[in-house]
Amino acid sequence: MVKKVENMIQSSERSMPHLPLDVIIGILSKLPFKSLFQFRRVSKSWHSLISSSHFNQSITNPNIQRQYMVMVNLVPHPGLYTASLGSADNDTLTAVTAVKIDHVLGYFELKHHVWTIMIGSCNGLLCFLAEDVIYIFNPITSECKKVPDPKFGAAVYGFGYDCTVDDYKLVLGRKNNLHLYSLRSDSWKKIQDFPCSCSNHYELYGALCGASLNGAIHWFGRQPTVIVAFGFADEKFCEISVPTFPTGVTNDIEVGVFGGCLGILRRCGHDLWLMKEYMVKQSWNRVEINVPFQSYMKPLALLKEDEALLAVDAKRLVLYNIREGTYRDLVIRGFPDPTWIFTAKTYVESLVSPIMKV
């Protein structure tokens, strides 16, 4: 069937006038990703279109396409695993099946002593650090890019998309020594340090992996208490006001993106704040999450409008119904030790290639 469609497309390309791009995207967007992956072989132009960020942003919608979760396990069998979370119109999710994927990378094998950092995910691409090497990987296509060694240490990370130049970028370094990597040019460059006020007065908590939204990376700063955002397009910093927190509770706050909104959560608390309108302080909305935990709780994603996926104590994955205030454990099959999930992130399926050309 696929071969027949390929022949029809090739024939139409030779005999019929070219269709407008938006019409082609509209037709292709109705196809499953498995078919799109095969159709990339029709011609160079089709490969370029289907692999492009523009095309994938047009069809990649967390509320329509399948969402996935990537997990890192160190004990007892180290490895990188992925599991499908389905789509928003699925029935109630109770269990997922994990599949090991690090064998397809061809670059490394995770060891017991390796500290793996999931830097971020954007439009189906995962960016992570393992054995002091940074990788950008598409689990759907198994394409992987090994990022050139920046030759400097880092405590601040951020991965996202710059729509102004159709490029994926990585921020890496320390607050007074930041560098920017471009996937399209495959090169690093020095960028401005955090603002003077930030360098002198901000205290950035630990090894921070910023949250990507609206062409910017966001970190939480607690002296003063604001969100620090770095825009890819203008390569400048700005500040975003946050809700008023009680004194002494700002040392465990994490920034994330949930359901398309910027969000913050106390890892040792029950308050999730969502910014319904980007950059508008008055739009912060508090959501109480009543899930018991011992050390910390971290939201991973909003799978539906009223259902949040939470990582609890690095040992459990919990689905919390925000509207009803109820929760249930998510059963993970095929994972070596479901009670020891070292870290996890979510992503959506796409055909964006990490092997970009200048």
Position 199 scores a pLDDT of 39
Position 150 scores a pLDDT of 86
Position 103 scores a pLDDT of 61
- Domains of the chain in sequence order: 2-51 (no CATH), 59-348 (2.120.10.80)
Position 100 scores a pLDDT of 84
Cα–Cα dist 97/332, whole Å: 6
Q: Which class for 287: exposed (0-12), middle (13-18), buried (19 or more C-beta within 10 A)?
A: middle
Position 249 scores a pLDDT of 58
Which helix (DSSP H) or strand (DSSP E) does residue 8 occupy? helix 2-15
Q: Which class for 113: exposed (0-12), middle (13-18), buried (19 or more C-beta within 10 A)?
A: exposed
Position 15 scores a pLDDT of 46
Please state, in angstroms and as integers, the Cα–Cα distance from residue 290 to each residue in 41, 300, 322, following that order: 49, 16, 9
Q: Which two tokens stand for residue 264?
A: 């913050």
SS3 199: helix
Position 217 scores a pLDDT of 94
Position 208 scores a pLDDT of 76
Closest CA to 126 of 64, 170, 66, 78: 170
pLDDT along the chain (358 residues), means of 10: 48 57 73 72 74 62 66 70 71 81 57 68 88 86 88 85 93 86 94 61 55 91 80 92 70 80 79 90 88 80 80 83 88 77 77 78
Position 164 scores a pLDDT of 92
Position 290 scores a pLDDT of 85
Cα–Cα dist 342/207, whole Å: 15
Position 197 scores a pLDDT of 43
Position 63 scores a pLDDT of 46
Q: Which class for 29: exposed (0-12), middle (13-18), buried (19 or more C-beta within 10 A)?
A: middle
Position 204 scores a pLDDT of 46
